[in-house]
């Protein structure tokens, strides 16, 4: 006669959140923190009554530095969404790159040396974002200098430069 034997059922362990000790430890490799920054060095030379961006190495250069914070994935998505609009006629999403660059500067720029010799170019931050006055100071730079800073910033943030 056949007997029915009880089958042992293995208890499945449900994964829980991270362990307490892992929550308490500091950031490890590959994680972004507020301390992760990069510098954009701008070398300038005076030509007549305007400033031009030149290569490093000339003796007449004046070096200015702009410090940016690396953005997190959530910040990247948030800024892109805020800069995107939907064109119902063309049925396309359009990214306003000028608006995206402005928001990157306002949110990620930490400091710069342009304000050391010109107090009108000092920048101030409130709750981690540049004030409107600081954005106006940024826009007072010559267009070629702004374009260079934005290109170098995007080189790092967008193209892993």
* Alpha-carbon gap, residue 112 to 123, rounded angstroms: 8
What is the overall mean pLDDT for the chain?
89
CA atoms within 13 A on the CB side of 25: 9
In this prediction, residue 112 has a pLDDT band, given cuts at 50, 70 and 90, of very high
Where are the chain's structural domains?
33-157
In this prediction, residue 138 has a pLDDT band, given cuts at 50, 70 and 90, of very high
Structure letter (DSSP) for residue 23: H
At residue 26, does pLDDT exceed 70?
Answer: yes
Per-residue pLDDT at 160: 84
At residue 161, does pLDDT exceed 90?
Answer: no
Per-residue pLDDT at 69: 94
Average pLDDT over residues 105-109: 96
Centre a 10 Å sphere on the Cβ of residue 16 and count the other Cβ atoms it contains: 6
At residue 1, does pLDDT exceed 70?
Answer: no
Q: What are phi and psi of 47, to 5 degrees?
A: -130, 100
Task: Tokens for 18, please give them.
Answer: 């991270």
* Alpha-carbon gap, residue 69 to 3, rounded angstroms: 70
Predicted confidence (pLDDT) per residue in 47-98, tens digit: 999 999 998 877 778 999 999 999 999 999 999 999 999 988 989 999 999 9
């Amino acid at each position: 006669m056949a007997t029915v034997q009880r089958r042992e059922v293995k208890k499945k362990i449900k994964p829980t959140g991270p362990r307490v000790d892992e929550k308490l430890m500091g950031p490890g490799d590959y994680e972004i923190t507020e301390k992760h920054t990069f510098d954009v060095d701008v070398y300038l030379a005076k030509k007549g009554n305007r400033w031009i961006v030149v290569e490093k190495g000339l003796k007449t250069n004046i070096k200015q530095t702009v410090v940016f914070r690396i953005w997190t994935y959530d910040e990247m998505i948030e800024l892109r969404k805020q800069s995107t609009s939907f064109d119902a006629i063309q049925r396309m999403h359009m990214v306003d790159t000028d608006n995206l660059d402005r928001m990157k500067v306002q949110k990620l720029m930490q400091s710069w040396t342009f304000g050391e010799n010109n107090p009108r170019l000092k920048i101030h931050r409130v709750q981690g974002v540049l004030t409107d006055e600081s954005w106006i100071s940024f826009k007072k730079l010559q267009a070629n200098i702004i374009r260079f800073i934005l290109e170098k910033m995007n080189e790092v943030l967008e193209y892993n430069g």
